[in-house]
Amino acid sequence: MAFKKKTLAVAAMALALAFGVSACGSSSDEARTDGDRTVLRYQGWTGQVGFHELAEDLGYFAKVKLEWVGDTTSGPQDIQSVATGDIDFGSAFNGAVVKLNAAGAPITSVLSSYGADEGEFTGYYVLEESPIRSARDLIGKKVGMNTLGAHHEFLVREWLAKEGLTADEIKQVELTVVPPVNTEQALRADQIQVAALNTIHREKALYRGGIRSLFTDKDLFGAFSYGTYVLRDRYIAENPDAVKDFVQGTARAIRWTQVTPREQVIERARQIIGKRNRNEDTTRIEFWRSPGIPVPGGVVAERELSTWIDWLVRNGELEQGKLNASDLYTNEYNPYANGTYAQDAGPDGQALAGAK
C-alpha cells in the first residue's frame, strides 16, 4: 500500500524528454472543475491506496476532487507525467525529483510521500546460504529492483560507496529490472543474487524464510522520508487554493495513518479498494505495517533533498551549485509546518493523548 510508494543514463534521457515537452507545452495550467471543486488528475498503484486517496475518502478535501487516469509503472514515470502536464501531481524518490529539476522541469515538492520509519523500510536480501556477506562480494553479481534511476538504484550505489568500493568496482555490480511480483522468485531461482524488497513482497518472502538482509535503507539513513509529492510550478501559481486544499488534506491523511491503530488503517484501505472497482487484489493491504513517514503530516526536511543533490555532485552527475535544496520544495501549505496544527496533533488539530 502506498501509505508508504526507481541506469541513470536511461533516466537522464527520459528527463530530458520530459523537459523538452514541458518547455513547449500549454501556456496555462488552468484547472478543470467539477461543480465547485477543482479536479486533480493522478496515477495510481494497483492494490495500493495513496495518502491522497485516503484523504478524499476521509472527507479531508473541501475544494478538490481526485481523478484517477490509470496506474503508473514507477516514481520517475509518475513525476515525468506531472512535468509534461499529463497529470497534476505525482510522487517519486527524491533523487529522481532532483534529477528532473536538474533537467529543467519546473516542479516543486510539497510534502513527503514515503520513507522508512519504525515499521516500514526497503531491504536488500540474499539467500540464507549465499556467500555474499559484504559489498565487495557483489562485484559481478546481479541486484534486482523494480526500476532504474530511482530509490533502489541510488540506495545500492550509496551503500556500495560507503562500504569502500571504487566507482569502477560499483559499475561491475549489475542492476537488473525485475517486476516486484517476480523479485522473490528471481532471487530463489538465482536469476539475481540480491533482491530489493519492501511492503508485502518483503513480508511474504520473510514469512517463507530462507533469506537474510544484506542491508536496508534504514541502516543507511535511519528514519527518513525518501520521496515527495510534486506539482508543476505554474499549476501552483495559478491554482493556489486547490494546491493548499490538496496538501492540507493529504497531510492530515498521513497523520491519520500515523496515529490510528494498524487494523483500522488496513480496514479503511480495504474498503477504498473495494469501492473503486478496479478488480484489484487486496492481499497487499494485509501486510501494511506503518506509513513509512517518520515526520508528522509529511513535512519535508531540506536534508531529504540535499542528500541527493550532494550525491549527484559527488558522482559527477550534477554541477556543484546548480541546485539548492531549499528551492526545490515548500512546506507553506502543510498545516503541520505552517502553524495550523502542532506537530503532535492529530488529523483534526486535537492534541494526541499523552502528547507533551
Q: What are the domain boundaries of the chain? A: 33-115+223-327, 122-221
Topology alike, domains 33-115+223-327 and 122-221: yes
Buried/exposed 183-213: b ≥16 CB within 10 Å, e otherwise: bbebbeeeebbbbbbbbbbbbebbeeeebee
CA distances from 264 to 49, 216, 257, 261 (A): 14, 28, 9, 6
Enumerate the H helices of 163-286 as residue ranges. 167-171, 180-188, 199-208, 217-221, 233-238, 240-259, 262-276, 283-286
- For residues 356 and 344, give the distance between their C-alpha atoms in angstroms, rounded to a whole number: 8
Q: Which homologous superfamily is 33-115+223-327 in?
A: Periplasmic binding protein-like II (3.40.190.10)
**Sole residue written with cell 497531510:** 251
Query: What does the chain come to in residues?
Result: 356
Task: State which fold the 122-221 domain adopts.
Answer: D-Maltodextrin-Binding Protein; domain 2 (3.40.190)
Instruction: Compute the distance between CA of residue 115 and CA of residue 325 in angstroms, rounded to an integer.
Output: 18
In angstroms, the CA 51 to CA 60 distance is 11
CA torsion sign for 303, 322, 146, 19 is: positive
Tens of pLDDT along the chain (356 residues) come to 444 333 333 343 333 333 333 333 344 567 888 889 999 999 998 888 999 999 999 999 999 999 999 998 788 899 999 999 999 999 999 999 999 999 999 999 999 999 998 888 899 999 999 999 999 999 999 999 988 877 889 889 999 999 999 999 999 999 999 988 899 999 999 999 999 998 878 988 999 999 999 999 888 888 889 999 999 999 999 999 999 999 999 999 999 999 999 999 999 999 999 999 888 888 878 888 899 999 999 999 999 999 999 989 988 889 999 999 999 999 999 999 988 887 667 776 665 433 32
The three cell numbers locating residue 131: 556467500
